[in-house]
Amino acid sequence: MFLSKLDSVKNASNLLNKHQTVTDVELVSIHEAHKRVLAEDIIAFHDSPPFDKSAMDGFAVIAENTFGASQSAPKEFKIIDAIGAGDFSDKTVGEGEAIVIATGAPIPEGANAVIMKEYTTTEGDDLTIYSQVTPGENVSPKSEDIEKGQKILDKNTFIRYPELGLIASAGYDEVRVFKKPTVKVIITGNELVEPTKEEIDKAKIINTNQFTIKALVEDSGAVCEIGHAGDTYDEVKDAILEASKTHDVIMTTGGTAISKGDVVLDVIDEIGEILFHGVAMRPGKPAGAGVVNGKIVFTFSGQPVAAMSQFDVFARKYLFEMQGRSFNFNVVKRTSELKIPSQLGRTDFIRAVCDNEYAKHVLNRGSGIIRSMVEANSYIIIDENDEGYQKNDLVNVVLFDSLLW
Amino acid sequence: MFLSKLDSVKNASNLLNKHQTVTDVELVSIHEAHKRVLAEDIIAFHDSPPFDKSAMDGFAVIAENTFGASQSAPKEFKIIDAIGAGDFSDKTVGEGEAIVIATGAPIPEGANAVIMKEYTTTEGDDLTIYSQVTPGENVSPKSEDIEKGQKILDKNTFIRYPELGLIASAGYDEVRVFKKPTVKVIITGNELVEPTKEEIDKAKIINTNQFTIKALVEDSGAVCEIGHAGDTYDEVKDAILEASKTHDVIMTTGGTAISKGDVVLDVIDEIGEILFHGVAMRPGKPAGAGVVNGKIVFTFSGQPVAAMSQFDVFARKYLFEMQGRSFNFNVVKRTSELKIPSQLGRTDFIRAVCDNEYAKHVLNRGSGIIRSMVEANSYIIIDENDEGYQKNDLVNVVLFDSLLW
């Protein structure tokens, strides 16, 4: 009887780390690779640019021939050819000669610079220039971005848009990435009904976790399927067992049934292993996790805010790292506008509104108050070794923006 | 001849603002509403919770009856009923009576608190409690989160996961949101080929903008289709005209053809209106925009980094605000680890690596160097009125994380 000993957030996290799994590797088209995580090093198949490339529309010349040219002392050249984008010229630029060149076209033999069109006039084959250029000016040298054979990205790199461009540039039309984890969320709670504008039956409550947890899973790069189970031992057991065969990760919300204790944890205890249950944190104390058929099971509260915080503290990192992407809170400092009491031995994740300087915690902190999460853009984290903060203390903050996939 | 006068970033932005359009409104299922933007105020159809709700598994009692109870001085109660989640009891709790109650179930008449199961023992109908509770303890009062009839979210709110939960909780099974803008990206450049591991024909270059710009569009909540056009006036004209009938926004990359000047801008000048062309910024000076058939056209450079920066400076805000979501750079301060020269009259967007304190700009800044963008996590912005910074100066920074949809 009475409360069993609570795990610390750190202990619970360590237990999860020990059971961290990583998804398989799959080959996807470069068209599908945005926001995936590399499961291979990227070794360039090509130089980029593959040749000395004109960076401007203008005229390829020998830079030294332009020295001294100015608006008051123009110089004359003879145009001997023209190179459009995608074309090249077999001619060699000699003294006093110029070749018309488009941005992106290869610099012809002999030339070592491009004078911009804007600083010239032409009449037939006669080119007049009103400015000088230095050797290499307006030329993007061969392989300045990528050298053929060079490793340009490491395995485990997250593919944002610049990485995507670089991978394409290196010649990859498909790329090895970690598979997206498949997550089955099992919503328990006989009281839950779907959102409706109509009157709701007595004792029933609208099911919001199916929406928030699915959105959180998708915000972690994973794929989510929602399921439901009644609050009975057998229904929960069947649902978890089935999900452990079809999905990479299982999450449950709620699942309390007074007559039998916490059904979800009892089930996991029978068919698998409980890693922890009960964590010294607020909100989210009933947080738990276990392993069934080698698959991790996160057991979240039915209370919406508690469930979101439990996800943020435990599941987000797990899902990121399943995909080969390391994840840790990026803790920044803010000045607290209010006094924040806390309790030694407990880690608080306090919903807060932060600007670039100050943090102000949301006052209504009930773990069922979704509006408190709506008002917030960050957590103030109070470590288990701190008893809270005074007004104007520097506090540790994690911005929600920094949590996104 | 010579360079035409460049617009300032501010002028160019103002011109875009004047032509800002907003997408139509559509009704989507709550299941599809994550990361959309509200096109209506949300007025609650229900209280949430809809009744005084138990926050714990335990026993509903009259709090005053528990006063003085402790482990050494337990108190006795008689259990008269049990309420599971989703059920309710018609009985009224009297003096010395208790009703078994599950988390989420409605508090029965008469009771005003719940004593947690952990602080009790039972034998048949006899309940012994070892702790006292105060009135309201472990009860989530009716409507503590949402009051029926109340406006709980404003039009133009971005729907993150907490907002999604709140909207569902208020009874919405579908919700009015702004449509996702459809964007046609027209890639020009006869030199461009698809990514391939095989040897590339002389004078050809792999097309990377199709990947980076599409990813950027998707990172702005919009839908992207890629098209291609040869570097001729007619092909570009046909592509832009067609896209102006089928899409909300048009973007082009490259499109220079030396013999005729800048084909893309010439086309826009004929079939529409040029808003600006040439901006005092680095990278991205050739940035332009116009309007064709009432649709905005962004003309980006062919140079990959210039195109990405032009997108960040001009197109991202436009796409956000088309969907009713306001967007401005969130400028934060960092200490520059290096001296950064700049030029009066030009706004620099310098790729940089920032931690929570320092900023260090990426050294290779060529507008074709995709790796410079890969190395970066932020821009240092140098205003047109600044001539650069000394080492250890505080500089204005925009973190890439803060740009995401």
Q: Do B53 and A205 touch (CB under 8 A)?
A: yes
Give dist(CA A204, CA A196) in Å, integer: 12
A107 and A174 fall within a common domain: no
Average pLDDT over residues B111-130: 96
Q: Of B140, B168, B203, which one is at a domain's C-terminal end? A: B140
3-state secondary structure of A281: strand
Q: Is residue A101 one of the residues assigned to a domain?
A: yes
The dihedral through the CA atoms of A254, A256, A257, A262 has a sign that is positive
pLDDT of residue A85: 85
| B100 Cβ neighbours under 8 A, 6+ residues apart | A258, A259, B59, B79, B81, B82, B83
Percent of the residues in chain A that have a pLDDT greater than 90, as a whole number: 90
Give dist(CA B226, CA A94) in Å, integer: 42
B151 shares contact with chain A (CB less than 8 Å): no
Give dist(CA B246, CA B251) in Å, integer: 13
- Amino acid identity for residue B85 in this structure: A
A145 shares contact with chain B (CB less than 8 Å): yes
* Under 8 Å between Cβ of B87 and B51: no
A44 shares contact with chain B (CB less than 8 Å): no
Of A258, A371, A374, the CB nearest to B100: A258
Domain encompassing residue B395 = 332-403
Is the confidence at residue A258, as pLDDT, over 60? no
A103 and A154 fall within a common domain: no
CB-CB neighbors (< 8 A) of B118 in chain A? 1-3
Chain A: give the shortest CA distance to residue B129, in Å: 11
Give dist(CA A272, CA A294) in Å, integer: 8
Q: Is residue B291 one of the residues assigned to a domain?
A: yes
Q: Is residue B327 one of the residues assigned to a domain?
A: no
A134 and A154 fall within a common domain: no
A26 shares contact with chain B (CB less than 8 Å): no
B193 and B164 fall within a common domain: no
Percent of the residues in chain B that have a pLDDT greater than 90, as a whole number: 90
Chain A: give the shortest CA distance to residue B87, in Å: 6
Q: How many domains does chain B have?
A: 4
Q: Of A298, A322, A346, which one is at a domain's C-terminal end? A: A322
Read off the CATH number of the domain in which A154 is found: 3.90.105.10
Q: Which residue of A has its CA nearest to B88?
A: A203
Q: Is residue B110 one of the residues assigned to a domain?
A: yes
ipTM above threshold 0.85? yes
Tens-place pLDDT, residues A330-377: 999 999 999 999 999 999 999 999 999 999 999 877 778 999 999 999
What residues form DSSP beta bridges with A116? A58
Chain B: give the shortest CA distance to residue A261, in Å: 9
Tens-place pLDDT, residues A220-243: 999 999 999 988 899 999 999 999
Q: Is residue B374 one of the residues assigned to a domain?
A: yes
Is the confidence at residue A302, as pLDDT, over 80? yes
A98 and A237 fall within a common domain: no
Is the confidence at residue B258, as pLDDT, over 90? no
pLDDT of residue A229: 93
B354 and B373 fall within a common domain: yes
B239 and B166 fall within a common domain: no
Beta-sheet strands, E only, within A120-242? 120-123, 126-129, 139-140, 151-153, 174-178, 182-188, 192-193, 205-206, 223-229
B191 shares contact with chain A (CB less than 8 Å): yes
Give dist(CA A75, CA A130) in Å, integer: 7
Size of interface A-B (CB pairs under 8 A): 322
CA distances from A96 to A55, A101, A131 (A): 21, 16, 15
Q: Is residue A145 one of the residues assigned to a domain?
A: no
A141 shares contact with chain B (CB less than 8 Å): no
B306 and B338 fall within a common domain: no
Q: Of B322, B354, B383, which one is at a domain's C-terminal end? A: B322
B186 and B272 fall within a common domain: yes
Residue that is written with structure tokens 């920044």 in the block: A332
Buried residues in B272-284 as b, exposed as e (16+ CB within 10 A):
bebbbbbbbbbbb
Chain A residues 244-263 within an 8 A CB cutoff of chain B: 254, 256-259
A136 and A68 fall within a common domain: yes
CB-CB neighbors (< 8 A) of A153 in chain B? 374
A236 and A376 fall within a common domain: no
In this prediction the pTM is 0.94
Q: Do A106 and B31 touch (CB under 8 A)?
A: no
